[in-house]
Structure 1
């Protein structure tokens, strides 16, 4: 029997009371057969190649080690200006460097976006996919998860309040588990993080 696969959960919002953090917790509670580890991004200094060497920030090293150690990634993010928040883009950059040592390489992933508005973070979802293609991360295509009207779907504690939403997200996580199982690779060449 195969080992339990581990999914790193990366939340694009830095807010303590983020609706996307609540959604991420709800998704994790619905995910069966996978182990989940939240990988925070709030303390990552902006990526600058000038300091990526002997004086690499400790936060970058820790982040790279955490992503390197997981089998797959679940991104849960809001949309800022029809794209991803700057903190999430910075995390992608930090993890993709130094050149040739990307910790993202080959890791299957899925994206869920949530917004109080009607389009549910559609722009962020697709902007993120563009980077994931370059980073060689097979991203689950279906079902898509653009969660609009998010404030009405989760209560103050982050519990799902609508049966239809819970059913949709259960299916999303079931499909994600299958996606990870089919796409995880133990032999993707990634250099050891130092």
Structure 2
């Protein structure tokens, strides 16, 4: 008697590694948010590859410069986001808001208005700060920008790493176990959500 296999074969996007472009909104070498991205690399679930992109060489957005063609660091930024399945952003909070270096990167990546690499890119946001409120205001402002750029941002879990100086060691390793659990959960949620969106768009 012949049997028929009714199972659905996994798609290529479901079997290949999930590539995540990770960006920290700080240029400081010993930044807690850079350290947070390194922790994410360490805690990434199986099947996820996190690639950190450094914003240090990205110039200030200038439409006159853009009209002459994107500078090489901007092309590299757009390529890193465009080639990734998802985006992971670790933002500090400066003066109750998004750091200029990060907002500048968003401004570049939002161009051109049609077909920008940020459009439709699944994104997770978290952040670390020595303050007691973490980076709540900065994350809220970043989400507001993503409404305009049509960048879907994961709603939960919300990770606000407050009193960061107590959660990282002298080498910049995230040592707080509860925070490590939250970061690992965020990455699992990002992976599942990204796969779901990819399946819907096929």
Assess same fold via TM > 0.5.
yes
Q: Per the alignment, in what secondary structure is the counterpart of residue 65 of structure 1?
A: helix
Task: Return the offset for 1:165.
Answer: 2.0
Query: In the superposition, relative to structure 1, how do residues 187 and 60 fare at CA in structure 2: closer, same or farther (>3 Å)?
Result: farther
Residue 30 of structure 2 corresponds to which residue in structure 1?
A: 17
| 2:17 is the counterpart of 1:8 | no
Residue 127 of structure 1 corresponds to which residue in structure 2?
A: 141
Q: How many residues align?
A: 188
Query: In the superposition, relative to structure 1, how do residues 78 and 17 fare at CA in structure 2: closer, same or farther (>3 Å)?
Result: same
Contact kept, 8 Å, 2:18 with 2:191, in 1: the verdict is no
How far, CA to CA, are the matches of 1:114 and 1:19 in structure 2? 6
TM-score if structure 2 supplies the norm length?
A: 0.87
Residue 175 of structure 2 corresponds to which residue in structure 1?
A: 161
TM-score if structure 1 supplies the norm length?
A: 0.90
How far, CA to CA, are the matches of 1:94 and 1:79 in structure 2? 20
Match of 1:93 among 107, 116, 136: 107
Q: Which runs of 5+ in 1 are unaligned?
A: 189-194
Task: Return the offset for 1:185.
Answer: 6.8
How far, CA to CA, are the matches of 1:170 and 1:103 in structure 2? 26
Residue 64 of structure 1 corresponds to which residue in structure 2?
A: 78
CA RMSD, Structure 1 to Structure 2 (Å):
1.8
Matches within 5 A, 1:1-194: 1=10, 2=14, 3-32=16-45, 33-184=47-198
1:147-173 Cα shifts (integer Å, max 9, x gaps): 101111111223232222222222222
Q: Which runs of 5+ in 2 are unaligned?
A: 1-9
1:11-40 Cα shifts (integer Å, max 9, x gaps): 001101101100111112111121111112
1:130-185 Cα shifts (integer Å, max 9, x gaps): 01121111111111011101111111223232222222222222222212222247
Query: In the superposition, relative to structure 1, how do residues 31 and 16 fare at CA in structure 2: closer, same or farther (>3 Å)?
Result: same
Q: Report which of the two structures shows the higher radius of gyration computed on alpha carbons.
A: 2
